[in-house]
Chain A
Amino acid sequence: MTDAAALAVQDVVAGYGGAPVLDGVSILVEPATITAVLGANGAGKTTLLRTISGLVRPRQGRITVGGANLARKPPEAVARAGVAHVPEGQGVITELTVEENLRLGALLRTGRKGRASRAAALAESYQRFGVLAKRRHRAAGTLSGGERQILVIARALLAAPRVLLLDEPSLGLAPMVVAQVMDLVRQLRDDSGLTVLLVEQNARSALRIADRGVVLNLGKVVADADAAELLADVGLRRHYLGF
């Protein structure tokens, strides 16, 4: 079953010293699906993404993408294996221009036709995200919250990832902008077949677009089911998701 998964997290224990934040977490993410990771503050959602992308070294367990074990690999190696991580707080490099941020995302397109591929991907990105084309020469720090979120997603896509890790994309955004960002994530799955692991405080919004939902509590998986089932489970929603 793990062979068919785009991303498999198996029995991962990880943390920052002392008691582990993740305590034996296992998750399978099927290709071209959105899996929402939900839970209260401190449940371990962000640590899970940081562990997958290599920012936190797991103490045990396997993390495989396309069959290759990436556990304990550095973030740059994980990125090169096709995992794009959009961190909480957006991760825009504010001192660089919009275009420079996007060029950074395209740097992983290498090889003989790397330069042409990067240019084509950048042009395609501007076509898809018109707001970025208009502001391409502005410092990224001058963008609004919603524009920054679009920028970091566009930047992640320029690396042509197999798996996109999105950490709290709705954080600090107005409800209308949150809806736009969620629509964008859904389009990426539907149109491009992208696999997305979505960490989100706003459980209701996340489950509406997700295929599957995983609920974490104190570093352990307490529920792993179809998104529709989780939405229908009133007890679980009230107990762990707060709605």
Chain B
Amino acid sequence: MQEFVEFTLGGVAFGMIYAAIGLSLVLIWRGTRILNYSQGAMAMFTTYVALIVINHTGNYWEGFAVALASGLVLGAALEWVVVRRIEDKPPLNAVIVTIGLLIFLEGLAGIIYGGQYRSFPPAFSIVGLTLGSTALGISRNDEFTAGAVLAAALGLAALFRYTSVGLRLRATAFNADVARLLGVRIGRVLTLGWALAGLIGALAGVLVTPSTFLYPNSMDSIFVLGFTAAVIGGLESPVGAVVGGIVLGVVLNLAGGYLGSDLVPIFGLAVLALVLMVRPSGLFSTTAVRQV
């Protein structure tokens, strides 16, 4: 039973990372119908920026803040400079361009920072917490990770629900033509969507890297699992991405704990396949599936 609790709580902590990547994918998908394959690479790049600042200043929080700010700027810049040119083009163009961005960012990181593995400091202690004599399988840093992603998700929910900016974002996501007819400058709205996605991705990067090391394609496997979390949630739903991330994290941690860590990638794919077979539109999507 103790193992089960450990694996489950540890899974929730890791699931929050997948949730953050999933959330960033959902933000862009809802607004532009583009699946951003470069999301993981963007997070990797901003984590390098954070590491440089931390090494330079010796202050984790300065690096953390700079990573989030650079994620915001990188997301906005990519939308403005590159993605805007293909937003009304066939979907395959977006696939090719975002994969191109992935290769570009990973190549650029390799040129600038080299290919060696670098350790990245955690925000808090990674020593496991105990309740009495029972090990909980999570650390203060895991608590921070879960809290930070939850706060980001709640902040986004509040932004969407209670602000005029959020109303513009939602209107653009649901019906861009009508939003434009109502005076919404959707170019700015889409830039903001990418910027927010860049910010959330940057958060995921600095939160996950203490347990994975940092190298140019260190976020590739995390991106795949974040994508899986988003698909489980239905790609449309921010809440779905968070729940999908947690479910995935728990399932993978239980599988890794009981059956061996080699099976984790297989279980990730199995969860994805199961959801696509049983409910192809995801657990939280309201979009009907069309038979062709």
A residues sitting closer than 8 Å to B (CB atoms) are: 53-55, 74-76, 79-80, 84-85, 87, 91, 93-96, 100, 103-105, 107-108, 155, 159
Of residues 165 to 185 in B, which have CB atoms within 8 Å of A's CB atoms?
Answer: 167-168, 170-171, 174-175, 177-185
> Chain A nearest CB: distance from B84 CB in Å?
13
In contact, A91 and B175 (Cβ under 8 angstroms): yes
In contact, A105 and B182 (Cβ under 8 angstroms): yes
Q: Considering the chains assembled together, what is the distance between the CA atoms of A13 and B214 in angstroms?
A: 57
In contact, A79 and B170 (Cβ under 8 angstroms): no
In contact, A75 and B174 (Cβ under 8 angstroms): no
Main SS class of interface, A: loop
Q: Considering the chains assembled together, what is the distance between the CA atoms of A233 and B178 in angstroms?
A: 37
Q: Considering the chains assembled together, what is the distance between the CA atoms of A96 and B182 in angstroms?
A: 14
Interface size on B, residues (CB 8 A): 17
B164 interface residue, CB < 8 Å from A?
Answer: yes
A residues within 8 A CB of B177?
55, 75, 87, 91
Q: Considering the chains assembled together, what is the distance between the CA atoms of A13 and B43 in angstroms?
A: 48
In contact, B167 and A108 (Cβ under 8 angstroms): no
> Chain A nearest CB: distance from B97 CB in Å?
23
In contact, A87 and B182 (Cβ under 8 angstroms): no
B residues within 8 A CB of A107?
164, 167-168, 182-184
Q: Considering the chains assembled together, what is the distance between the CA atoms of A103 and B163 in angstroms?
A: 11
In contact, A159 and B183 (Cβ under 8 angstroms): yes
> Chain A nearest CB: distance from B162 CB in Å?
11
B residues within 8 A CB of A94?
174
Q: A76-B184, A104-B184 are in contact. List 20 more A-B contacts (CB 8 A).
A: A55-B177, A74-B180, A75-B180, A79-B180, A79-B181, A79-B182, A85-B181, A87-B181, A91-B175, A91-B178, A95-B174, A96-B170, A96-B174, A104-B168, A104-B171, A104-B179, A104-B182, A107-B167, A108-B182, A108-B183
Q: Considering the chains assembled together, what is the distance between the CA atoms of A53 and B175 in angstroms?
A: 16
